[in-house]
């Protein structure tokens, strides 16, 4: 059986402008690898409704799971929730359970649950709330799309809330060999090795350090014995 697949949609003009560096993709990829869900595609889209809706429709049809980050806050440009509702043809409004969470949170902190903050309680019909132990305002799941905040600490907390509810596959195992030779020298033997192990993924990632060229060769797969065998052959080809 093949592993479930996933895609991610990173939403926000601040990412595309270079003002904010996205770290959520890196975190999500690592967490999904641990549970055997293969992250196959990531799209970064602007705060544009048509672009968000199109990405949600395309990726939710192509993958087992879709994770979004960004655009569910209290400001006018936080339009992700409305776009998800449109993509799934769902009505959206303030939901009582989400409102109650926010009301209790702002009562504890002595802040007002004003109209802007209440926007974070607008949830598409039929959605399941995603717990947010950091700042309370929930994410939500509609169909196979998990909608999460863009703030890294909140995104990570929401991922931790969602992953135990998903069925994964076999975790992807990996080993790395650091070779101090240029890629041009190792490309041929590496290609031959890859042909002998078609069930494994082999990647070459070059580096230059103090004038020395080299590459980190990463071998990945679900069968630990096969990864071990391929790594043993690679080490014999390029002894330290």
DSSP string covering 179-229, please?
Answer: E-S-HHHHHHHHHHHHHH-TTSEEEEEEEEETTEEEEEEEEEES-HHHHHH
Print burial letters for 7-25: b (CB count within 10 Å at least 16), e (below 16).
Answer: bbbbbbebbeeeeeebebb
* Whole-number pLDDT of residue 212: 86
Task: Report the percent of the chain where pLDDT is more than 70.
Answer: 100
Residue 179 has, within 13 A of its CA and on its CB side, a CA count of: 26
Task: Report the percent of the chain where pLDDT is more than 90.
Answer: 94
Question: pLDDT per residue over 12-22, tens digit each?
Answer: 999 999 999 99
Residue 117 sits at the vertex; the CA angle it makes with 111 and 51, to the nearest 5 degrees, is 155
- Kindly report the average pLDDT of the chain as a whole number: 95
* Whole-number pLDDT of residue 102: 97
The CA-based diameter of the chain, rounded to the nearest angstrom, is 66
CA pair distance 147, 162, nearest whole angstrom: 10
* Whole-number pLDDT of residue 21: 93
What average pLDDT does this structure show over 29-37?
95
* Whole-number pLDDT of residue 169: 92
CA pair distance 101, 136, nearest whole angstrom: 7
Residue 1 binned pLDDT confidence (cut-offs 50, 70, 90): low
CA pair distance 196, 189, nearest whole angstrom: 11
pLDDT(170) > 70: yes
Q: What domains does the chain contain, in order, with CATH numbers? A: 5-165 (3.40.980.10), 173-237 (3.30.70)
Question: pLDDT per residue over 50-104, tens digit each?
Answer: 999 999 999 999 999 999 999 999 999 999 999 999 999 999 999 999 999 999 9
Residue 115 binned pLDDT confidence (cut-offs 50, 70, 90): very high
What average pLDDT does this structure show over 151-180?
95
CA pair distance 226, 146, nearest whole angstrom: 34
What is the reported pTM? Answer: 0.87
* Whole-number pLDDT of residue 196: 96
């Amino acid at each position: 059986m093949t592993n479930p697949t996933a895609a991610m949609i990173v939403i926000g003009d601040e990412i595309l402008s270079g003002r904010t560096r996205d770290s959520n993709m890196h975190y999500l990829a690592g967490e999904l690898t641990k549970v055997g869900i293969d992250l196959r595609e990531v799209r970064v889209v602007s705060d544009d409704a048509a672009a968000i809706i199109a990405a949600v429709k395309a990726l939710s049809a192509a993958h087992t799971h879709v994770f979004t980050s960004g655009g569910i806050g209290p400001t006018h440009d936080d339009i992700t929730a409305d776009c998800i509702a449109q993509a799934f043809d769902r009505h959206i409004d303030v939901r009582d359970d989400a409102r109650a969470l926010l009301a209790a949170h702002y009562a504890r902190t002595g802040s007002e649950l004003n109209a802007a903050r209440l926007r974070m309680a607008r949830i598409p019909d039929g959605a399941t709330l995603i717990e947010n132990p950091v700042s309370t305002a929930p994410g939500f799941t509609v169909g196979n799309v998990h909608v999460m905040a863009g703030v890294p600490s909140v995104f990570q907390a929401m991922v931790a809330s969602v992953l135990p509810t998903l069925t994964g596959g076999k975790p992807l195992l990996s080993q790395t060999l650091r070779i101090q030779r240029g890629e041009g020298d190792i490309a041929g033997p590496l290609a031959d090795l890859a042909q002998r192990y078609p069930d494994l993924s082999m990647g070459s990632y070059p580096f230059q350090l103090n004038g020395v060229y080299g590459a980190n060769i990463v071998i990945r797969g679900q069968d630990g014995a096969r990864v071990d065998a391929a790594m043993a052959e690679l080490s014999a080809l390029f002894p330290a």
